[in-house]
């Protein structure tokens, strides 16, 4: 017959399996591979262990990088000082194609109109120091990490079915490009205080205050090929360019709590209020003149707020008794996207 300990472990494994298979997310930040305007790829954690654990770490006593998830983790750490440097290389591959057929409806080949293989890199760093005065623990930390990436590249060729009847490859009509660069970075100072209630029982409270900034450049272009111009003549096909240069500036506050409940259990909680960043920049659009239509050149001044929704996160950690120091984590996150726009629904994410 299974003991209570084995039943707990089995139940946790089943729970983690179910939660790992079910995740609800929203596309407000969900980033197209091309990083459209005012969208972006939302980062979770860059700590290697945190990523391997499915993005968890709201209670973590082993990695300095976890203070970026929960500032209360500073006085939870099982050491008095720590430093962590992390980097990530994200390889994004996107190939799109259409089948080509001849006049007898026989398949010829696949026409690749978009093939994009790009690599994006980012880095993060965190450090902390803590001191103990009897049952009281005090700690300070700092971290620098990417929060949202707006970088993205996309290129596609526009072709028709000309020459496919002769088993030939169609000429290129136009080239469309999207090239975006920019990351919202977060630089924070964190503080934590902890108090021992008994052996392996303590409560920890923390907060961090962060400066956030981004410098984003986004460009979208449509360029006609020489073959297209030769077919229709000069000054018929207008080329198009849209360039957006904008900046984000602001501050963000995060509150956290961490509770060690015996040698086997830990609980973590965090709350990040809604954050409004200052957005400023320009949106420049240029369309060439064609036929009897004059050139169109427009500059729009961007001045407003970029809202980040409020977030609430809770998680548990279980440390079974074994020499491998295995850890089971399960976390629930609520993101109030309705803070950003009434058209968005609030979201629950399970890790």
Tell me if 7 is assigned to some domain.
no
When pLDDT is cut at 50, 70 and 90, the band that residue 7 belongs to is: low
Residue 164: predicted pLDDT: 57
Q: Is residue 332 part of a domain?
A: yes
User: 239 in a domain, yes or no?
Assistant: no
Please state which of the ranges 11-20, 23-32, 183-192, 262-271 shows the lowest mean pLDDT.
23-32
Question: pLDDT tens, 146-183?
Answer: 999 998 888 888 877 666 556 566 788 899 999 999 99
CA distance linking residue 149 with residue 120, whole number of Å:
10
**pLDDT at residue 197 tops 80:** yes
Q: Kindly indicate the confidence band of residue 94, based on its pLDDT and cuts at 50, 70 and 90.
A: confident
Q: How many residues does the chain have?
A: 351
In a domain, 231, yes or no: no
Higher pLDDT, 348 or 161: 348
Mean pLDDT of all residues belonging to the chain: 84
- The pLDDT tens digits for 130-144 are 999 999 999 999 999
- How far is residue 89's CA from residue 151's CA, in Å, rounded to a whole number? 13
- Asked whether residue 32 is domain-assigned, the answer is yes
Per-residue H/E/C for 177-214: EEEEECEEEEEEEEEEEEEEEECCEEEEEEEEEEEEEE
CA distance 195 to 136: 5
At residue 41, does pLDDT exceed 90?
Answer: no
Instruction: Give the separation between CA 60 and CA 78, rounded to whole angstroms.
Output: 10
Q: What is the residue whose two structure tokens read 């850890």?
A: 327
Rg (CA), the chain: 26
Which tens digits make up the pLDDT trace of 296-344? 899 999 998 999 999 999 999 998 887 777 889 999 999 998 888 888 8
pLDDT > 60? residue 29: no
Q: H-helix or E-strand containing 227?
A: helix 226-232
Q: DSSP letters along 8-60, please? A: HHHHHHHHHHHHHT-----SSS---TT--TT--EEP----HHHHHTTS--SS-
Residue 218: strand pairing partners: 180, 244
What is the DSSP code (8-state) at residue 239?
-
12 domain-assigned = no
C-beta separation of 146 from 46 below 8 A: yes
Residue 289 lies in a domain: no
Per-residue pLDDT band for 31 (boundaries 50, 70, 90) equals very low
Number of compact structural domains in the chain: 1
C-alpha span between 277 and 117 (Å, rounded): 32
Give me the percent of the chain exceeding a pLDDT of 90: 48
Distance (Å, whole) CA 290 – CA 238: 6
- Domain coverage including residue 274: 24-155+183-217+248-279+302-350
Q: Answer yes or no: is 127 within a domain.
A: yes
Pairing state of beta strands 265-272 and 240-261?
antiparallel
- Rounded Cα distance between 219 and 244, Å, is 6
How far apart CA 198 and CA 46 sit, in angstroms, is 33
Q: CATH number of the domain at 28, please.
A: 2.40.160.60
Question: For residue 77, which of 125, 129, 124 has the smallest C-alpha distance?
Answer: 129
pLDDT tens-place string over residues 227-255: 898 988 888 899 999 999 999 999 999 99
What's the confidence (pLDDT) of residue 74? 95
Which tokens is 310 given? 């409020």
Q: What is the pLDDT of residues 271-303, one digit of tens each?
A: 999 999 999 999 999 999 888 888 889 999 999
Which residue do the tokens 């972006």 mark?
A: 40
Instruction: Report long-range pairs for 279-282 (Cβ below 8 Å, ≥24 apart).
Output: 279/246, 279/247, 279/248, 279/303, 279/304, 279/305, 279/306, 280/246, 280/247, 281/216, 281/244, 281/245, 281/246, 281/247, 282/244, 282/245, 282/246
Rounded distance, CA 215 to CA 150, Å?
10
Residue 27 has pLDDT above 70, yes or no: no
Q: Which residues contact 160 (CB under 8 A, 6 or more apart)?
A: 170, 171, 173
């Amino acid at each position: 017959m299974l003991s209570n300990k084995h039943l707990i472990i089995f139940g946790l494994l089943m729970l983690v399996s179910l939660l790992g298979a079910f995740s609800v997310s929203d596309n407000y930040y969900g980033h197209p591979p091309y990083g459209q305007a005012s969208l972006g790829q939302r980062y979770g954690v860059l700590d290697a262990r945190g990523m391997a654990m499915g993005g968890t770490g709201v209670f973590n006593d082993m990695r300095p990088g976890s203070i970026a998830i929960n500032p209360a983790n500073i006085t939870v750490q099982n050491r008095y000082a720590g430093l962590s440097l992390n980097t990530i290389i994200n390889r994004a591959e996107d190939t799109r194609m259409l089948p080509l057929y001849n006049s007898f409806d026989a398949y010829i080949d696949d026409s690749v109109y978009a093939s994009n293989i790009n690599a994006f890199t980012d880095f993060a760093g965190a450090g902390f120091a803590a001191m103990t005065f009897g049952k009281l623990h005090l700690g300070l930390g700092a971290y620098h990490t990417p929060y949202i990436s707006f970088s993205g590249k996309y290129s596609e060729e526009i072709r028709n079915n000309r020459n496919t009847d002769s088993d030939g490859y169609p000429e290129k009509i136009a080239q469309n490009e999207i090239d975006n660069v920019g990351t919202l970075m977060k630089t924070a100072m964190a503080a934590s205080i902890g108090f021992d209630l008994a052996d392996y029982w303590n409560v920890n409270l923390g907060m961090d205050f962060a400066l956030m900034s981004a410098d984003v450049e986004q460009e979208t272009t449509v360029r006609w090929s020489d073959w297209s111009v030769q077919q229709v003549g000069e000054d018929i096909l207008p080329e198009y360019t849209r360039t957006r240069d904008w900046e984000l500036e602001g501050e963000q506050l995060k509150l956290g709590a961490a509770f060690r409940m015996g040698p086997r259990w830990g609980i973590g909680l965090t709350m990040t209020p809604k954050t409004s960043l200052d957005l400023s920049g320009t949106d420049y659009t240029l369309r060439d003149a064609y036929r009897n239509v004059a050139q169109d050149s427009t500059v729009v001044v961007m001045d407003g707020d970029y809202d980040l929704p409020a977030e609430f996160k809770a998680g548990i950690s279980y440390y079974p008794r074994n020499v491998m120091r295995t850890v089971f984590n399960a976390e629930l996150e609520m993101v109030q996207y309705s803070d950003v726009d009434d058209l968005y629904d609030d979201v629950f994410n399970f890790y």
